[in-house]
Amino acid sequence: MKTMNGPALFLAQFAGDAAPFNSWKSITRWAADCGYKGVQVPSWDGRLFDLEKAAASKDYCDAFKGEAAENGIVVTELSTHLQGQLVAVHPAYDAAFDGFAAPAVRGNPKARQEWAVDQVKKCISASHHMGLSAMATFSGALAWPYVYPWPQRPAGLVEEAFDELARRWTPILNHAEECAIDVCYEIHPGEDLHDGVSYEMFLERTGNHARACMLYDPSHYVLQCMDYLDNIDIYKDRIRMFHVKDAEFNPTGRQGVYGGFQSWVNRAGRFRSLGDGQVDFGAIFAKLAANDFAGWAVVEWECCLKHPEDGAREGAEFVKNHIIRVTEKSFDDFADGGTDRAANRAMLGLD
């Protein structure tokens, strides 16, 4: 068994224009002060990271890691959640997602998609230059508007969507193979890869690509009423990344999974800071330890109630207290009397 690394923090929800969140040096110092050992970096945020330089220069990446190391922080992974989202966008969401793209390609879905693919590939190259092993991302979505079958979906619609999704991602996955980087799709509502079955549909179409892996985040499974512990056992060989995020689901006679178009505070299912929701993290950390997960436990703060800085500080301690330092010996080793094959056969009455 292996002891996972942590705690780490995903910086996407914290980067901002005010100190200490507006520069790489200051935000890593702040993260360390909160108790973190590592950070997951949003590759799109120019206040913290220059993706173009990182993709082209190992020296830049070494300097970037070195500045974090001065504050006692390790770069755990890079993220392309926003760019990955733009690899596949249904026209219904063009306006909503256009702001994720560079200004030069906004309003031009074809150019935007090409830009997104290039961005994800550059982040894979940057991850390689950083000496990392995995990159976080979203799959994007072509079929999501048809997730609930009313009116009934035309025959072949979903299959066509997943065929196209795999066609767009396969060259990216091949580049990831060349760079020895696992592409970890966060399984997430709003993405075509939103549960185990949809992930398997995609995986099959990529020829079970070795680099098409998973980012495990139990909060999204709670809100879908999925068995998030069984999910670990099913996909243990594909789970290469872990977001530690809490959630709660409290259905009423008025609303359930779909939330009634309400704000996050007023939804039956909502994200909470660590320890304030319903996720059984004790069981999750035990499952991951038993299944040899050796990656990072990365806190992703998303809460409809608690201040992010309080959530971050509490989250570091929460993860620290949940990481299991795995044992190197059996608890009953003291009773081992030693044995060999002959003794075993004698005990079984075979000699």
Could you report the per-residue pLDDT of 129-161, keeping only the tens digit for each? 999 999 999 999 999 999 999 999 999 999 999
pLDDT digits (tens, 9 = 90+) for 13-26: 999 999 999 999 99
Q: pLDDT, tens digit, for every residue of 33-49?
A: 999 999 999 999 999 99
pLDDT for 330 equals 72
Indicate the DSSP class of residue 306: S
Residues 123 and 121: their CA atoms lie apart, in Å, by 5
The stretch 81-86 carries a mean pLDDT of 98
Token couple for 54: 């990182």
At the topology level, CATH places domain 5-347 in TIM Barrel (3.20.20)
* pLDDT at res. 240: 98
Tell me: pLDDT of 335 over 70: no
Per-residue model confidence (pLDDT) at position 1:
80
- The pLDDT of residue 6 is above 80: yes
State residue 338's pLDDT score: 74
Sign of the dihedral defined by the CA atoms of residues 208, 209, 211, 215, in that order: negative
pLDDT digits (tens, 9 = 90+) for 189-244: 999 999 999 999 999 999 999 999 999 999 999 999 999 999 999 999 999 999 99
What is the tens place of the pLDDT at every residue in 277-330?
Answer: 999 999 999 999 999 999 999 999 999 999 999 999 999 999 999 999 987 777
Indicate the domain borders of the chain: 5-347
Cα separation, 57 vs 158, whole angstroms = 40
State the chain's mean pLDDT as an integer.
Answer: 96
pLDDT at 116: 98
pLDDT at 331: 66
Q: What is the pLDDT of residue 329?
A: 74
Residue 168: C-alpha distances to residues 21, 159, 162, 309, 342 (Å)? 34, 14, 10, 38, 59
pLDDT confidence band for 85 (50 / 70 / 90): very high
> Is residue 32 predicted with pLDDT exceeding 90?
yes
Q: Does the pLDDT value for residue 334 go beyond 70? A: no
Give the mean pLDDT of 268-282. 98
Question: Considering only CA atoms, which of 300, 242, 295 is closest in space to residue 10?
Answer: 300
Strands 74-80 and 134-137: parallel
Distances in whole angstroms, Cα of residue 185 to Cα of each of 42, 49, 137, 202: 15, 21, 5, 11
pTM of the predicted model, to two decimals?
Answer: 0.95
* Cβ atoms within 10 Å, residue 345: 11
Per cent of the chain over pLDDT 70 is: 98
pLDDT at position 332: 65
pLDDT at 337 over 90: no
Task: Tell me the average pLDDT across 256-285.
Answer: 97
Give the whole-angstrom CA distance, residue 36 versus residue 21: 15
50 pLDDT band (50/70/90 cuts)?
very high
**What is the pLDDT, as a whole number, of residue 59?**
98
pLDDT band at 63 (very low <50, low <70, confident <90, very high): very high
pLDDT for 339: 78
